[in-house]
Amino acid sequence: MYDVIIIGSGLGGLECGYILTKQGYNVCILEKNAQLGGCLQTFKRGGTLFDTGFHYVGGLDEGQYLHRLFRYFDLLDLPWHRMDENGFAEVVLNDTSYLLPSGHDRFVETLSERFPHQRRQLQNYTNFLKRVGDGIADSFTHKDDQFKASLFERSAYHFLQETIDDPALRNVLSGASLTMELCPEKLPLYVFAQINNSFIQSSWRLNGGGSLIADKLAENIRRMGGTILTKAEVTRIIEKEGRITSVEYNDEERVEGRYVISDVHPALTLSLIPESQHLRKIYRNRISGLDNTYGMFTLHLQLKEHTVPYLNRNLFIYNNNDVWNHGYRLGSSKTSALVSYRFPKDGTGFTNNIDILTPMYWEEVEQWADTTVGKRGEEYKAFKQRVAEECLQLVAGRMPGLRDNIERFHTTTPLTYRDYTGTWKGSAYGIRKDYNNALLTILAPQTQVPNLFLTGQNLNLHGILGVSMTSILTCAKVAGMENVLKEL
């Protein structure tokens, strides 16, 4: 009998396991794959290491909130590398380039050189982002509940329209936001402000891939007495007399527990409970009917040795003038991409691989949904080849000679994400938050079953910072907020 059973070993599941094991709970984590980490997983092809979904983090400098969280999670001694403070991101709009620097003051000064008539507006913009970021700690004490709730109910797009006069500057400020789905009709202001603020604070890459985070968390969980089972796919959650009593995995094995935390998609979680006294049909339908954000197509480039210099920033490339309405529709050519360089492992100053990511809807690959990895057919291969070529065409102007230096390449689609990470329909950022319906799309950790809780990117805020915050909120339901926050 375990105190807590955790379903899924993504960042949220591992962080919940770490928190509760450290609190003295007897924890068991069940992971269906052989590798832990969800979207933190890495994979090797031809001796080159690639990331599945992790590329960089924000707000990790001393005094910033992710630093405080990662100090608690014992992740600060990983090989973090600060990205260029003079330009952690380069936004390219129709061949015109803009650098986004770290630090709120430097951010205002740098962009004011290109937009001198917008200095006051830029100052107002960064002051607002900073206020949102400074309020993170209050999320756990309910001091900012009203302010935070109001931002979830405000439009990020309308905020920019009201705050920034120049449409070109609005695009630049939004240009590094392929880290979220820029949906003008739905994206809440809180999501936009919190994520962009963290990267402006400071931006960091990890030398060695996201699996280092998962491995370190898992190592400490086991060291503190927790149990982690891999190749253990949960097939049923069993409720008796109104409470979850056990979890079945691989159709035959069971573990019993007092509490259950699910790090998988809420709709999938509920589908694992065939009978329940508490889960009403209207609640099931509400959760299963929520929209999900788009996924990503990733072109993983393995490069010839010592041919492509490492760039210590991300490139965000658009071939249009409106990043919020970038013309991306089902079946259309790709018009935006995030280019991420792998930190050099040998200290030579040259990168070994580059990832090019572009949005992709589930509907584009849905016709192959019932196939398995490696057995999707020639039509699927041709589809991926076509999108890969579109990605190369999109970035070629900013990276001359890139094609000549590609040793080989690999591609992933939302189908790949679904199969390897368990992400619902390959969604990149989980359930789509909607400022028009904040109460419906922003989920609480508590479900209708008293001892069943949720965690992960689907609840309120995605990304490393968002999931880490959510893990604390989830664990507080089990251990009490005061106990969880004591060491933070």
- Cα dihedral angle (317, 48, 309, 90), rounded to 10 degrees? 20
Nearest residue to 431 via CA among 291, 240, 288, 274: 291
Q: Is the pLDDT of residue 144 over 80?
A: no
Of the three residues 374, 402, 425, the one that is the final residue of a domain is 425
pLDDT at 330: 62
Residues 193 and 219 in one domain: no
Q: How many domains does the chain have?
A: 2
Residue 68 lies in a domain: no
> Does any domain span residue 74?
no
Shared-domain flag, residues 300 and 219: no
| pLDDT, average across residues 321-347 | 79
- The predicted structure's pLDDT at residue 346: 74
* 195 and 297 inside one domain: yes
Please check whether residue 334 lies inside any domain of the structure.
Answer: yes
Q: 310 and 241 in one domain?
A: no
DSSP code at position 274: S
Long-range CB contacts (< 8 A, 24+ apart) of 33-37? 33/230, 33/231, 33/420, 33/421, 33/422, 34/230, 34/231, 35/211, 35/230, 36/9, 36/211, 36/214, 36/215, 36/218, 36/228, 36/230, 37/9, 37/10, 37/11, 37/210, 37/211, 37/213, 37/214, 37/215
Per-residue pLDDT for 333 more than 80?
A: no
Alpha-carbon radius of gyration of the chain: 22
Among 399, 425, 451, which residue terminates a domain?
Answer: 425
361 and 445 both lie in a single domain:
no
Confidence of residue 486 (pLDDT cuts 50, 70, 90): confident
The pLDDT of residue 329: 62
Task: Annotate 87-103 with DSSP letters as a single string.
Answer: -SEEEEETTEEEEE-SS
Tell me, what CATH number does 463's domain have? 3.50.50.60
Instruction: Give the model confidence (pLDDT) of 279-331 as tens digits.
Output: 988 999 999 999 999 999 999 999 998 999 999 999 999 988 789 875 556 66
**DSSP code of 222?**
H
Q: What is the pLDDT of residues 358-388, one digit of tens each?
A: 999 999 999 999 998 888 999 999 999 999 9
Residue 468 shares a structural domain with residue 322: no
Average pLDDT over every residue of 145-155: 83
Q: pLDDT by residue (tens digit) across 227-237?
A: 999 999 999 99
- 410, 425, 440 — which closes off a domain? 425
168 and 244 belong to one structural domain: no
Residues 171, 109 share a domain:
yes
For residues 238-266, give the mean pLDDT. Answer: 95
162 pLDDT higher than 90: yes
Q: Is residue 481 part of a domain?
A: yes
In the predicted structure, residue 22 carries a pLDDT above the cut 90: yes
Does some domain include residue 382?
A: yes
| Residue percentage of the chain with pLDDT more than 90 | 75
- The CATH number that applies at residue 328 is 3.90.660
Are 229 and 263 part of one and the same domain?
yes
pTM for the full predicted model:
0.94
C-alpha to C-alpha distance for 25 and 384, rounded to whole angstroms: 46
pLDDT at 347: 75
Domain check: are 154 and 130 in the same one? Answer: yes
Taking residues 397-407, report their average pLDDT. Answer: 89
Residues 321 and 448 in one domain: no
Domain with 250 in it: 2-41+210-290+432-485
Q: Is 58:313 a contact under the CB 8 Å cutoff?
A: no
Contact 190, 152 (CB under 8 A): yes
Same domain, 89 and 134: yes
Supply the mean pLDDT for the chain: 92
- Would you place residue 421 in the very low, low, confident or very high pLDDT band (cuts 50, 70, 90)? confident
At 178-209, the pLDDT tens digits run 889 999 999 999 999 999 999 999 999 999 88
